[in-house]
Amino acid sequence: MASAILRTGSVLRNALQQSRVVQQVATYNLKTFSTSPVTGNLASQHVGVIGGGNVGRAVALGLIKHGHKVTMYDPDTSNKSELESHGATWAGSSVEAGRAAEKVLFTALPAPPEVRQVMEEDGVLDLLKPGSCWIDHTTTDHEETMRLFAKSQARGVDMLECPLTGGMELLKAGLMTVLVGGDKAVLNQYEPLIRSYTDTVLYMGPAGHASIVKVISNMLAGAHMVLTGEAAMMAKRNGVNLNAFWNGIRASAGNSFVFETEAPLMFNGTYQPGFAIKLHCKDLDLGRKLAFDTDVPIDLLSMTEQIYRRAMFRYGRDAGSSHPPKMLEEDLKVSLRTEGYDTWNYSIKKVESDTIAVVHHGIGDEAKNWADDS
């Protein structure tokens, strides 16, 4: 972390010396514990993908780009036209998509109930042939994952739990981190296929462990988001320029990936529209259950869950996941809107084998020239 902070400070100083350039960078260390050696190959396969939301879309596009034939299904057809235009075949049901898979089936579903519905009640698991593999990208309950893992193995079907983490921009850039649980030998075989749509594959251990790590990650992200809103409000009410505040914190020990990439969503008032708060609340609920089952007190994270639920009840289940700070703005009647972030966005750049960088784009002059107003 110290190296990331030093890099961040250096970049910010350079940015100021170069007339406040629009593009600013902060780096984060990310060790890639990819299994080695990797076996298997990327020979063209006909795969099934069930789930066509943000994750399923990214998975399908990556697979198609690398020459694989994709048959997929989602009752929500929002991404259907785009995916078909890239070569995907849209099935009429999850069963049809499962039947189309020659050897590998991917699922990317909202929550545990949808996984049970598709794989068990709809009978998709029964369609998979012995020797095939089910790769599940759903963020789900680790006990449910272990149950389905055992059921798959009893049928001679391999299973890898592969929740993704890192944020929407990483997903779009094909740099999302895949956390993997299951047999390492199975991962060795299918990692080349997984790398069709991601750049970082981390082996977490046996089935269930990847889900545990993913849920904890989203709990931490939620706590960081709540604290980001409270910190920004403290700065605002004490007369600190919010541009100075953002640049100061992201070059300090208090920085985080969430602060770096979601504070601007408060400043421009969009509050992360790409990830629904109902999904974040689902993940927080899974985390609370995990802590309860293992007798771990989680005072701060329990409060985070309560705040997220209040935000969901106030703004609706489909509101963006960064809405908790908006409640604080409304309750205190103090806006955190800041000029210069209307066209803000960011991308991710791999700087070294173990380091990623957040690259900021579209910051307006009002925000870039904050030091001139001090």
Domains of the chain by start residue, with CATH: 2-30+214-373 (1.10.1040.10), 46-205 (3.40.50.720)
Mean per-residue pLDDT, 79-104 = 96
* 275-295 residue pLDDT tens: 899 999 999 999 999 999 999
Q: How many CA atoms lie within 13 A of 244 on its CB side?
A: 11
* 155-173 residue pLDDT tens: 999 999 999 988 777 787 7
Q: Which amino acid is at 299?
A: D
pTM of the full structure: 0.84
* 57-85 residue pLDDT tens: 999 999 999 999 999 999 999 999 999 99
Polymer length of the chain: 374
Q: What is the structure's pLDDT at 34?
A: 42
Q: What is the structure's pLDDT at 328?
A: 96
Q: Of all residues in the chain, what percent carry a pLDDT higher than 90?
A: 74
Q: What is the structure's pLDDT at 371?
A: 58
- Looking at per-residue pLDDT, the higher value among 289 and 32 belongs to 289
Give the angle subtended at the CA of 318 by the CAs of 143 and 53, to the nearest 5°: 65
Task: Tell me the residue ranges of DSSP E strands in the chain.
Answer: 24-29, 46-50, 69-73, 89-90, 104-107, 133-136, 158-161, 164-165, 177-181, 200-205, 345-352, 355-361
8-state DSSP, 303: H
pLDDT range class, residue 357, cuts 50, 70, 90: confident
Give the angle subtended at the CA of 56 by the CAs of 191 and 80, to the nearest 5°: 140
- The CA-based dihedral angle spanning residues 247, 253, 254, 259, taken in that order and rounded to the nearest 10 degrees: 60
DSSP string computed for 237-267: HTT--HHHHHHHHHTSTT--HHHHHHHHHHH
**pLDDT exceeds 50 at position 14:** no
Mean per-residue pLDDT, 101-123 = 95
* 291-323 residue pLDDT tens: 999 999 999 999 999 999 999 999 999 999 999
Single out the residue of 174, 159, 136, 142 nearest to residue 49, CA to CA: 136
Using DSSP, state whether 12 is helix, strand or coil: helix
What gap in Å lies between CA 205 and CA 146, rounded to an integer? 12
**pLDDT exceeds 50 at position 23:** no
**pLDDT exceeds 50 at position 106:** yes
Helix, strand, coil fractions of the chain, as percent rounded to 5: 50, 15, 35
What gap in Å lies between CA 149 and CA 53, rounded to an integer? 24
Question: Which residues are bridge partners to 200 per DSSP?
Answer: 177
Q: What is the structure's pLDDT at 60?
A: 96
Q: What is the structure's pLDDT at 35?
A: 35
